[in-house]
Structure 1
Amino acid sequence: MRIVKWLILIVLPLMLCSGCYGSEVKPKENDLLFVKSKTGRQSKKVILLLVDTLMYQTIDKGIKQNKLPTLQYLIDHGQYYKDLVSSFPTMSVTIDSSLLTGTYPDKHRVPGLIWYSANENKIIAYGTGPVEILKQGVDSVLTNALIDLNGKHLDQHTETIYEQLKKEGLKTGSINGIIYRGPVDHKLSIPRWIKGTTGLPAEINVKGPDFLSFGALSNPLEGLKSLPDALTNRMGFNNEYTVETVKYLIQNNKLPDFLFAYLPDLDQEIHKKGPSELDAVIKVDQQLQSLLHAFGSPEEALNKATIVIVGDSGMSQILPAGKKPVIDLTKILNNYRLLQPGAAATRETDIVLAVNETMAYVYKLNTNESISDIANVLKAEARIDFISWKEDGWIHVVQAGTSQQLKYKPNGPISDSYGQSWTIEQHPEVLDLRINQNKKTLEYGEYPDGLRRLYGAFHSHEGDFLIVTAKKGYELVGHSSPTHRGGGGHGALHQTESLIPLIISGTDEKPGYRRIVDIKSYLLQLLTNDLKNSESKD
């Protein structure tokens, strides 16, 4: 969780100055008493490992060089897909919401890492970079991330996998998952060094799965196992904490029926060094090897559990500084009155920017110009890929530089490979759609499941806004967005940032559609079919 890294950089100096550092508030969790399945069955568990920014290109490169023996073993003894379609925008908080609810943002209602709430009249930011956190306000960002994300922003009527499995009588767990809402009461214990410099309470009541481990804020293994959850270890939001917690549950026969485990470290390295970074993937491979050996051997691991490994988004190589990779939206839109970070919108505010690296929401508030007028200003920038907006039930997409336009809406004569139908007019090549007019079918090219994903983002929250994406190699910035010149970036709709790997070992059951929104139903099928088979044997 990048917010923790930036929080440490921001709050630590304040903590040292204020003298508020002292004994920590200890978690009061008894998860291990309740995590074992009540069915008493010895059926297979399912472990879902989300490796942030794991890419199939890097896996293939490492395997070719014989540097990823664990991933090689899991692929040789399972299924390996390189074309799992992520959510949109391709940012962790939205993707994780899609993974664990099985829906796009129009249902789960988490639009991005940063977005504007018309209802609250403010920017909602979960933590993008240190400058942006400071300008938006540390209290505000922490409240969004620790209280409101799971408690309010994630749609209350859209069930998570934890909530759904509870109805089946199955036990669940989450280790360092950003999205963890479930049916069981828990407390996040806020360290005094954070509480002393912010307005957060000492404890935050949350709902989660049976076993909830969330770094130092919720550590059910406190006093049982030493874990790297100190300030210098990003408060436990690191791969070692996650893997060691999984290993403890395995070795002590405490695995729930379904366990989600998040490995965050790779994302940071790819952002800094770019998509070709391999050393960090080698380290992940070694950590996975230790996890498999916690069962006794890799063979025994696949006898006792189904192991599912998934990435969350791809990453584009951002051009170096000399190639002018940064598209500053504040300069392009400098004739409008833009909302400043941390401020509330007023009648004087024309436009609000919410930049998610290579994708941005551009909100029209009080300007007299139409949404298409603003799009016309943006489309002159050749480094922008496309600009899109919704109007009168249609979604309009304009290709920057050419001014070619596509418009579409759900339902119609054209069907795609996911069983969705559409009405499409004007230039389908804007989103690289290959339409067979005789068969009334379409195939996606550069933008996988692009129509549905873009529709999901436009219906994820209220407001009159544009969606802007950058061409590969470039990234968007607002007033204080982080930049990654020469490194990696994501957020956009194209293949490079949208297609992710999926490795499934320990079962022959195959997923249906290969999209991240289809993983939940696949996991439910694995778990509930196993339950039915176990009951029939009894």
Structure 2
Amino acid sequence: MVKKYCIVISYDAFSQDNWAVAKELPHLKSLIQRGASTTNVKSVYPTLTYVIHSSYVTGNYPDKHRVFHNNPFQPFLREIDQDWHWFLSDIKSPTIFEAAHKKGLKTAALLWPVSGKAPITYNIPEIRAVRGENQALKILKNGSKLYTLALEMKYGKIRQGIEQPYLDDFTTACAVDTIKNKKPELFMLHLIDLDDIKHFKGTKGTHIDEVLIRMDNRIGAIIDATKAAGTYDETTFMIVGDHSQLDVRYKVYLNRLFADHGLIYEKAGIPKWRAYVQAAGGAAYLHLQPGDDEAHELALTLLQEALHDERYGIEAIFDKQQLEAMHVDPRFEMMLEAKQGYCFDDDYKCEAVIDLHAQGKVYATHGYLPSKPDYTSNLIIAGPTVQQGFDLGEVSVVDIGPTIARILDLPLGETDGRALVEAFK
């Protein structure tokens, strides 16, 4: 029986506005021509990396897999010090990793979100040391020890912390090595260069084209590795962008409003909260202390007033019924959506609205509603059983897991998404 292989490359922030340039680069162009593709991948809400990747591997929306943000709720803690949803146990739906493990497939993952301590044969999870932890020990503890050590010895000199392009160059070198020497049947890796550059330099400019070229070269190296390994003819490649990004001029700190009205306060120098806005880039969650009806009423009043004040850039306030329709984690009763050009942040001590351009800063982010105009991302599927030049049309990030399951004949169970069977011969 011929083995089947599937390589999934999460091309972070690879969105429809990048398609015109990317589709003319040699390696992506080849995959597009011999496979199925679309620029109309709709994401989940909020459009954050860890939420989306949890939907990838489960085929479910956040109301089922329960990863609602990159970070668990950690009020008043700087983002650089916060824990993230690093561990597979944070996902409350069955995953493609577990399905492959149960079937006895050899699997690998490189810097894949929410994969710590997963039943993956060869795993270097995306995980970061915080609050004085040791980075190397944390990765070894939560991934595959011998595999990680071997690749670190071979390629560690490429990496310079989390700086790009070095981090993705390291990941690519590890991927090439893994394909040649381990031949995993399911291989999922996360490349972050494009997302990083958009965040800190904006979504337009020559810096974007430079990253797209680097990314195409990385994809080419991975394809070439399958040829060297003798697995190319049996490998299905999936290249998928998780979200778009939008340029931001104004950062909005709604917790400053709460602090000005006593909903956030300090007691013996320690900050406390009765209501708190947890920012998710272009969206935000409202947290309320249970049983504090007065705080609930005041918070709603303040947010409704801010909604009608142009300075705060709030596009909408969603109630629980609306959130249920969008498959948002059911623990939340209210979310806020920012207008284009605005995003939310957590701090309560700075001004409520900061003009980044006035400070000479360029910034972009995501998290916004999937239905924002021109906010979709891209998907390419190419392999031995995929129809050549096929237009996939509108698909969803929840279709990724079921499609992987279809390629590898895995039982993923009940999912919100569907296998994209029309793409196959």
Q: TM-score range by the shorter chain?
A: 0.7 to 0.9
Q: 1:54 aligns with which of 6, 14, 30?
A: 14
- Percent of residue pairs bearing the same amino acid type: 22
Q: Distance in 2 between matches of 1:187 and 1:249?
A: 10
Q: Which residue of 1 aligns with 2:213?
A: 282
Which structure carries more relative contact order (alpha carbon 8 Å, separation 6+)?
Answer: 2
Q: Distance in 1 between matches of 2:50 and 2:165?
A: 18
Q: 2:340 aligns with which of 462, 466, 472?
A: 472
Query: The residue matched to 2:36 in structure 1 has which SS?
Result: strand
Per-residue CA distance 1:266-305 (angstroms, 9 max, x = gap) = 111111222222211111011212222223489x875231
Q: State TM-score, norm by structure 1.
A: 0.62
CA-CA distance at 1:153 after TM superposition:
3.0
Q: Distance in 1 between matches of 2:139 and 2:26?
A: 42
Q: Which residue of 2 aligns with 1:307?
A: 237
Which structure 2 residues correspond to residues 368-447 of structure 1 after superposition, within 5 A? 368=294, 369-370=296-297, 372-382=300-310, 383-390=313-320, 394-395=321-322
Q: Distance in 2 between matches of 1:265 and 1:69?
A: 19
Q: State TM-score, norm by structure 2.
A: 0.77
Q: 1:352 aligns with which of 245, 270, 276?
A: 276
2:127 maps to 1:249: no
Query: The residue matched to 1:517 in structure 2 has which SS?
Result: helix
CA-CA distance at 1:183 after TM superposition:
2.6
Q: Which residue of 2 aligns with 1:457?
A: 328
Q: Distance in 2 between matches of 1:478 and 1:207?
A: 29
CA-CA distance at 1:222 after TM superposition:
4.2
Q: Distance in 1 between matches of 2:8 and 2:265?
A: 40
Q: Which residue of 1 aligns with 2:252?
A: 327
Whether the 8 Å contact between 1:115 and 1:361 is mirrored in structure 2 is no
Q: Distance in 2 between matches of 1:331 and 1:529?
A: 49
**C-alpha spacing 1:162/1:232, structure 2 compared with 1 (3 Å):** closer
CA-CA distance at 1:395 after TM superposition:
3.2
**Structure 2: which 5+ residue stretches go unaligned?**
412-425
Q: Distance in 2 between matches of 1:212 and 1:513?
A: 40
Range with greater deviation from structure 2 (170-179 or 306-315): 170-179
Whether the 8 Å contact between 1:332 and 1:377 is mirrored in structure 2 is no
**C-alpha spacing 1:213/1:489, structure 2 compared with 1 (3 Å):** farther
Q: Distance in 2 between matches of 1:69 and 1:318?
A: 32
CA-CA distance at 1:521 after TM superposition:
0.8
2:141 maps to 1:265: no
Query: The residue matched to 2:183 in structure 1 has which SS?
Result: coil
Query: The residue matched to 1:50 in structure 2 has which SS?
Result: strand
Per-residue CA distance 1:147-182 (angstroms, 9 max, x = gap) = x63165332xx2121101122222211011122253
Which structure 2 residues correspond to residues 43-442 of structure 1 after superposition, within 5 A? 43-63=3-23, 66=24, 68-116=25-73, 122-123=74-75, 132-133=79-80, 138=81, 141=82, 144-145=83-84, 149-150=86-87, 152-155=89-92, 158-180=93-115, 181-183=117-119, 197-198=132-133, 202=137, 218-223=148-153, 225-228=154-157, 230-232=159-161, 234=163, 238-252=167-181, 254-276=182-204, 277-296=208-227, 302-319=232-249, 325-333=250-258, 334-338=260-264, 349-365=273-289, 366=292, 368=294, 369-370=296-297, 372-382=300-310, 383-390=313-320, 394-395=321-322
Whether the 8 Å contact between 1:354 and 1:478 is mirrored in structure 2 is yes
Q: Distance in 2 between matches of 1:59 and 1:513?
A: 15
**Structure 1: which 5+ residue stretches go unaligned?**
1-40, 117-121, 126-130, 320-324, 397-408, 410-450, 531-538
Q: Distance in 1 between matches of 2:160 and 2:219?
A: 24
Whether the 8 Å contact between 1:314 and 1:500 is mirrored in structure 2 is yes
**C-alpha spacing 1:258/1:87, structure 2 compared with 1 (3 Å):** same
Backbone CA RMSD of aligned residues: 3.9
Whether the 8 Å contact between 1:74 and 1:503 is mirrored in structure 2 is yes
Residue correspondences, number: 384
